[in-house]
């Protein structure tokens, strides 16, 4: 049975794959549009071309903020887990080390996913929007 995930819960590999498909579509559409626009831009083209810059700035700022917040949360959780393991009599047990390694791995993936989310959201939305528009 397929798992129904919202955009917010998508796994990192799915986000990467969708981003890898969306970015070339957006770039191809916009480069073609620039070539067809010529030296005098229409109001529609000016809006699209100026939006390209501001949307990237906003998406990258959201990306950095998301990664920073996820890293802070992860560091807090890891510090708590490490302090618990040091105070535990079974701290030297291999299962404790394995659990900590899994938590570190999960934390790294969470930071990467939070960083990719705004870029993925904007690129896939642009790909859908630009696929519906005519070049001229």
- Can you give the pLDDT at residue 7? 47
CB 133 within 8 A of CB 51: no
Residue 111 token pair: 């930071």
Residues in Cβ contact with 67 at an 8 Å cutoff, skipping those fewer than 6 apart = 111, 112, 114, 115
Residue 5 located in a structural domain: no
Specify the pTM.
0.76
pLDDT at 82: 81
Other Cβ atoms within 10 Å of 67 Cβ, number: 19
- Cβ-Cβ contacts under 8 Å for 15 (sequence gap 6 or more): 113, 116, 117, 120
Establish if 21 belongs to a structural domain: yes
> Is residue 91, in this structure, part of any structural domain at all?
yes
- Domain limits for position 38: 12-132
Q: Considering the domain boundaries, does residue 3 fall inside one?
A: no
pLDDT of the chain, 136 residues: tens digit per residue: 454 545 445 789 999 999 999 999 999 999 998 899 888 888 988 898 889 989 999 999 999 999 999 999 999 998 888 888 777 766 566 677 788 889 899 999 999 999 999 999 999 999 999 999 887 6
Number of domains in the chain: 1
Rounded Cα gap, residues 90 and 66, in angstroms: 35
Tokens of 74: 């992860």
CB 81 within 8 Å of CB 103: yes
User: What pLDDT, on the 0 to 100 scale, is given for residue 1?
Assistant: 41
């Amino acid at each position: 049975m397929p798992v129904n995930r919202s955009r917010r819960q998508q796994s990192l590999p799915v986000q990467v794959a969708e981003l890898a498909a969306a970015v070339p579509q957006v770039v191809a559409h916009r480069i073609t549009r620039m070539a067809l626009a010529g030296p005098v831009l229409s109001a529609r083209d000016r809006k699209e071309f100026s939006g390209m810059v501001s949307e990237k700035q906003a998406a990258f700022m959201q990306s950095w903020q998301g990664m920073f917040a996820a890293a802070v949360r992860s560091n807090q959780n890891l510090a708590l887990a490490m302090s618990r393991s040091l105070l535990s009599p079974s701290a030297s047990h291999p299962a404790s080390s394995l659990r900590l390694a899994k938590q570190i791995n999960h934390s790294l993936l969470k930071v990467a996913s939070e960083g990719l989310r705004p870029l993925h959201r904007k690129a896939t939305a642009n790909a859908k929007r630009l696929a519906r528009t005519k070049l001229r």
